Structure 1
């Protein structure tokens, strides 16, 4: 008599966190928690958004290349950073008005299977083109000049114009995030986890952070993404890497059970986020943002990656940077919607593994670990 075989156990399905999951769960949570009040919340969030149409200020725009499988998307994300106003003087650098603290090109593939953000250093020396003001005037270009001057002299429009002219990439949408609302976004989800390799005691810029793995909130979170004097030996490069890791960790926190099951946290986060955003007219409502987010339904967090444009020291001034010839290869990859190879994605950080990126944890060579330490990340 043959033995009866035990039924095969199915392997657990891979858990895929997607942007769509955050949006759909948020919507269901709001509906269950507030009932008819969800309409009120929706209108309130819509009222928070600021819309800016800069299309008339953009000239000589690149054409998009037809690719198989649909249309890729290129979003320009700008973190505008004014030290003026309540809560913004985190590092003693008051005055100077609005600045471009963070700029990132977010490329989403035509099949929506992958996405990667490319950080652009604010201290890189570039040839800024002529820009157009709101009233049709001309802002003369400069060469060489620091990249972030584009925002200082002409806001989002000049930044988009500069990026398009330097890269040949057509920007489809832009999002301008005011760091003034950053603290509220982090506090709404009860902090974001980071790992700080060494204590930060920087009285000159009023930044104090303990070493180790911890969840940062409020002023400490803002200090972490702004700090560039103690944690990294390479100033803005390390700060960009930490900002990438922080955004990736925030994405992880957003799709965690502790956030998705708490409508109050979701509403708080969305309220803080929408208050901090300025968008182009095609993203002028929460519904349109949701439609955009739902296109990421097949994009797992492990397929959302962050890299930095290939850079080198600027010879006339070692405190400045310059894009290398490899940057042209990266731009062409984006234009043609091609995957980025290892040669162009050194030190990549993924949303699935924020701290230390592909080289975090106990693995990785000594060189990779040294690079993480230089960027203020834990190995």
Structure 2
């Protein structure tokens, strides 16, 4: 088949062109070719790479085979909050604290194959996909965990007064989603999980992430030692930053969450400025790392679906991401645990359900962790 008759690949979510190509005259020719190059690069970034003839199919299936997915809908059935059809989306993102394989040396602890949800965030994407609210759920929050069935069909009993991250440890992704939906009354449209080693490699592939720290941060447990000032964090340093809880603030999980939120904003900014669209090889490297590092719900379990999903989020800049923590207070019986401030938390969930901004009153007077402003984009 000649190059003139080969269908042109499209951007995820848009149809390709199968008809003959017509060359524009004059200055328009340059714009047309530039536009075509950008479309090819966007396709590459999504994982559908065209790096030359017969290799394209291999690279597609290579990336497609990287993705691990779980059937959340099949495990949870119909006993879930109703999906609100207002154009918004809710995505549960977990950072998994695995104790096996390449994560062993990063996570510490015994190589027993166990895993915890070290980080949990609900990303609410507003209608129009131009802004998002990110609500962090402290892993040390004491909750009532609902009965749930995991993706292997095993049923797990309900439990009262247990830590939030016990849901993932007990029943994996399905039980984590079930617990979040029970806690919030919000339907989770998608699930994304990133592991330690994948996170570290992704940061390295990006060439690091610039941040500025306003205070010295030193934590032997997370292997982090940063002087106040501007740094370009490599993967190991970035991982240490999002995991540290003793090096800054009041030493609680809440302080760590504030560091995580600041780093995510810096990461989003870096991705938009790193210039990956000028290098197809760089795009493929990042796509390979990203698809190897995530576990998704089955709805995102292919390169095409994941690419279309990512393409729909690309319009959200760090300045349009509102970061908050689920309203909590320290547990009077145990200062190392927190409990939900129910009335304030309900303000958050009601606003998101109706695709409205979270009112400032919802987060006033809540426990914070005292680490806000310590880290920001460099």
C-alpha separation between the residues in 2 aligned to 1:173 and 1:204? Answer: 32
1:217 corresponds to 2:234? yes
Counterpart selection for 1:158 from 175, 197, 211: 175
Task: Give the one of 41, 44, 58 matched to 2:62.
Answer: 44
Which residue number corresponds to residue 334 of structure 1? 352
Partners in 1 of 2:155 and 2:81 — Cα distance?
20
Cα distance in structure 1, aligned partners of 2:182 and 2:39: 34
1:81 aligns with 2:97: yes
Structural mapping, 1:247-326, within 5 Å:
247-296=264-313, 298-324=315-341, 325-326=343-344
Give the length in aligned residue pairs: 332
Contact 1:78 1:177 in 2 (8 A): yes
2:375 alignment counterpart: 377
Aligned in 2, Cα 1:256/1:25: closer, same or farther, shift over 3 Å?
farther
Counterpart position of 1:64 = 83
Query: Deviations for 1:82-132, whole angstroms, at most 9, x for unmatched residues?
Result: 143335434643456111111111111223232111111100011111111
- CA distance 1:25–1:252, shift in 2 (3 Å): farther
Q: 1:256 to 1:24 in 2, by over 3 A?
A: farther
Distance 1:41 1:91 in 2: 31
Residue in 2 that maps onto 1:103: 120
Give secondary structure in 2 for the equivalent of 1:98.
coil
CA–CA separation in structure 2 for the residues paired with 1:79 and 1:332: 25
Whether 1:196 and 2:188 are equivalent positions in the alignment is: no
Distance of 2:205 and 2:65 partners within structure 1: 19
Q: Does structure 1 conserve the Cα–Cα contact (< 8 Å) formed by 2:209 and 2:270? A: yes
What secondary structure sits across from 1:89 in the alignment? Answer: helix
TM-score of the pair, normalised by structure 1: 0.79
Check 1:265–1:165 CA distance in 2 against 1; reply closer, same or farther (3 A cut): same
Question: In the alignment, what sits opposite 1:168?
Answer: 185
Q: Secondary structure at the match of 2:250?
A: coil
Report if the CA contact (8 A) 1:105-1:119 is conserved. yes
1:18 maps to which residue? Answer: none
Deviation at 1:226, TM superposition (A): 0.9
Structure 2 residue matching 1:151: 3-state secondary structure? helix
Alignment check: 8 A CA contact 2:344 2:361 kept: no
Kindly state the Cα deviation for residue 34 of structure 1 after the two structures are TM-superposed.
Answer: 2.2
Structure 1 position 224, deviation (Å)? 1.3
Give TM-score scaled by structure 2 length.
Answer: 0.79
- 1:378 Cα deviation (Å)? 5.8
Q: How far off is 1:279 after superposition?
A: 1.1
Output the CA distance in 1 between the equivalents of 2:295 and 2:345.
28
Distance in 1 separating the partners of 2:156 and 2:149: 6
Change (3 A) 1:236 1:63: same
SS at match of 1:170: coil
Change in CA separation of 1:51 and 1:297 when aligned onto 2, cut-off 3 Å? closer
Query: Aligned to 1:295, what secondary structure does the other structure show?
Result: helix
Correspondences of 1:209-248 after superposition (within 5 Å): 209-248=226-265
Paired residues of 2:99 and 2:109 also in contact (CA < 8 A):
yes
Checking the alignment, whether the CA contact within 8 Å between 2:40 and 2:50 is kept in structure 1 is no
8 A contact 2:94–2:194 mirrored in 1:
yes
